[in-house]
Structure 1
Amino acid sequence: MPLLTLKIDVDTYRGTREGTPNLARMLRRHRADATFLFSLGPDHTGWALRRALRPGFFQKVSRTSVVEHYGIKTLMYGVLLPGPDIGRTCAGQMRAVAKDGFECGIHTWDHVYWQDNVRKRDAAWTRNQMDEAFQRFRSIFGAAPQTHGAAGWQMNEHAFRQLDAYGMRYASDGRSELKEDGSLADASAGPYRLRVEGQELNCVQLPTTLPTLDEVLGRDINGTTINLDNLPQYLLRLTETRRDHVFTLHAELEGQKLAPIFEQLLGGWRDQGYDLVSMRQYHEHVAGQRLPVRDFAWGELPGRSGEVIIEPARQQPARPS
């Protein structure tokens, strides 16, 4: 049975308080597993307005109704309103998810600050941001985190090395390259080990292999405008040919306004024969396999503004995972 890994990025205070429990209830109804990755420090979502000059930013905002999904108040955090400390105020919601049996990991300390700065920062800045998240996670859950998924799929060389320093065996920090229609550019894309400046790292990367809902909603793809009515069918067409996948969803979207879309996807993936699993389960599935080694690379994706960590072309397998 092919595996479809559900990776949930929780970016904001509102997403943690409202979207996270909604998703947990939905997943339980469908007997699906998933991994929740939490932002653990301040919510400075309003700082994202600095991206206004980035090519494609306004196009994406207009397509995906950012105000409707995130709310005016969230978009003011860090601008006209102080950013709430998510880890301090939402620890109960986070622990409830773990108590329900779902895997929990680190998304970031400060989502917007990390996403907009990490690419050009040094080792000290990077380690400080990651240590803040690591220590907060331990204080909430009483144990060290086992996995990580980078905010905005943004990392640097120091961050990848830090995952090894923490002893994390697997993470999902990047994306597989996609064609304009959302299908995989490389049919063999999947888990790999990363090589940074000639050094092969231990942490296995489980890249996201499907487009996110906000990347396709409102776009014209093969002559069809993707809207709320045909969005589930579009994603399900991408998974008709059964193979292992990683799908990234957001507590702010699928956990709230787009919950009915996600519910249709869960049922559709079940009907297609997928086992809906967590990152931990996916890693267990590939453990012991000889995984390819990839060099650190950046690239663009259809429907997304700016570059992200990308899975480059296949190279020769190295050692078992």
Structure 2
Amino acid sequence: MPNIVLKIDVDTFRGTKEGVPNLVRILKQHQAGATFLFSLGKDHTGWALRRAFRPGFFQKVSRTSVVEHYGIKTLMYGVLLPAPDIGNCTTEMRAVADAGFECGIHTWDHVVWHDNVRQRGKDWTCSQMQQAQKKFQQIFGRTPVTHGAAGWQMNEHAFAQLDQFGMQYASDGRAMLTDDGSLANPEAGPYRLKVGNEVKSCIQMPTTLPTLDELLGRTINGQELTSSTIAAHILDLTKNLRDHVFTLHAELEGQKLAPIFEELLTGWHKQGYRCISMADYFNVIKDKELPTYPLSWASLPGRSGELVALI
């Protein structure tokens, strides 16, 4: 049976408090597995406004109604309002684990990591990751086993740190997509990452489907993708059965876009997929001989800037 690996990025304080419990309820209702990846430091979402000067930023903002989905208050954190500490949302995070879902690390400070890590050195990178590791241990009472990079942004020191942590699998990058969101390489899937001359032990599970915010509002094949048509488009991308990794966000699918996510869960079930966690998928692939690919960067349709990509 083919698998849809559900990877949930939790970026903000509001997403943790409101979106995460909603997603737990939806997943339970549909008997679906998933991995929740938490931001564990302060919510400096307001600092992301500096990205306004980057190519493609305004197009994404206008398409995805950032204010509507994230809320004015969240967009002011770190600018006009004090940045709340997401790591204090212990009740909401522990409830996810208690409900039987895998939990892992997304980042320490989402905006700081996303906007800086590619240019930073070893000390800065390891400090960020070690703070997240320590906070995760304080909240859950155990060592995290998986990671998914904020904004699919990493550097060579970050990948080395994953191995030092002993993480066996992560989802830190993307598979390349065509303009309609289909895979540029139909064979793209789990792989071992080579950085320089070293092959990392941590298996990478790249996201192989476009995210809702990358598709919403775009016109593809003559059709504008709206809240009423976007699920059908994604289900068309998964009609040829194969394993996929789908990244969703607590701030989107856990709130305003929840009906779209439920439509996807129902559609994937009808197509014959299992919706599972990264841990479940690791158990499927861990004994397979996986290809090795070098660390690469590329841009994707509907998203501004470059990210870690399987080329």
Shorter-chain TM band: over 0.9
Which residue in 2 is equivalent to 1:96?
95
Unaligned runs of 5+ in 1: 313-321
Cα deviation 1:238-266 (Å, max 9, x = unaligned): 00000000000000000000000000000
Q: Deviations 1:119-167 (Å, cap 9, x if unpaired)?
A: 0000000000000000000000000000000000000000000000000
Q: Tell me, in whole angstroms, the C-alpha distance in 2 between the residues paired with 1:229 and 1:16.
A: 26
Q: How does 1:136-175 map to 2 (within 5 A)?
A: 136-175=135-174
Deviation at 1:115, TM superposition (A): 0.1
Letter in 1 for 2:259: P
User: Which position in structure 1 is the counterpart of 2:81?
Assistant: 81
Task: Give 3-state SS (helix, strand or coil) of 1:290's partner.
Answer: coil
Q: Who is 1:267 aligned against?
A: 266
Distance in 2, matches of 1:35 and 1:140, equals 16
Q: 1:281 Cα shift?
A: 0.6
Q: CA deviation at 1:77?
A: 0.2
Instruction: Determine the C-alpha separation between the residues in 1 that align with 2:50 and 2:196.
Output: 31
Q: Does residue 1:35 correspond to 2:35, yes or no? A: yes
SS class of match (1:291): coil
Secondary structure of the corresponding residue to residue 246 of structure 2: strand
Classify the secondary structure of the residue corresponding to 1:118.
helix
Question: Which whole-Å CA distance do the structure 1 matches of 2:233 and 2:250 have between them?
Answer: 21
Provide the secondary structure at the position in 2 that maps to 1:98: helix
**CA shift at 1:287, angstroms?**
1.0
Aligned to 1:233: 232
Structure 1 Cα separation of the partners of residues 156 and 36 of structure 2 = 24
Query: 2:281 maps to what in 1?
Result: 282
1:66 Cα shift? 0.1
Map of 2:8 onto structure 1? 8
User: CA separation in 2, counterparts of 1:224 and 1:157?
Assistant: 40
Deviations 1:18-51 (A, max 9, x none): 0000000000000000000000000000000000
Q: Distance in 1 between matches of 2:71 and 2:33?
A: 28
**Counterpart residue number, 1:188:** 187
| 2-structure distance, mates of 1:231, 1:15 | 22
Moved over 3 A (4+): none
Structure 1: distance between partners of 2:31 and 2:305: 36
Name the CA distance, whole Å, in 1 between partners of 2:228 and 2:7. Answer: 23
Structure-1 separation of matches of 2:263 and 2:51: 33
Instruction: Tell me the secondary structure at the aligned position of residue 4 of structure 1.
Output: strand
Give the distance between the partners of 2:186 and 2:100, measured in 1 at CA: 32
Partner Cα distance (2:215, 2:183) in 1: 14
In structure 2, the partner of 1:251 is 250
Per the alignment, residue 302 of structure 2 pairs with 303
Report SS of the residue matched to 1:96. helix
Q: Whole-Å Cα distance in 2 between the matches of residues 76 and 212 of structure 1? A: 24
Aligned residue number for residue 319 of structure 1: none
**C-alpha distance in 2, partners of 1:92/1:229?**
34
Q: Which amino acid letter does the alignment assign opposite residue 183 of structure 1?
A: S
Residue aligning to 1:315: none
Query: Residue type of the partner of 1:119?
Result: R
Distance 1:2 1:228 in 2: 26
- Tell me how far apart the structure 1 counterparts of residues 197 and 83 of structure 2 sit (CA, whole Å): 40
Residue in structure 2 matched with residue 128 of structure 1 by the alignment = 127
Question: Which residue number in structure 2 is paired with residue 318 of structure 1?
Answer: none
Q: Give the AA of the match of 2:78.
A: G
Alignment gaps of 5+ in structure 2 = none
The root-mean-square deviation of aligned C-alpha atoms, in Å, is 0.4
- 2-side partners of 1:264 and 1:196: how far apart? 39
Q: Distance in 2 between the 1:73 and 1:198 partners?
A: 46
Q: What number of residue pairs does the alignment pair up?
A: 311
Amino acid at match of 1:93: E
Match of 1:199 in 2: 198
% identical aligned pairs: 66
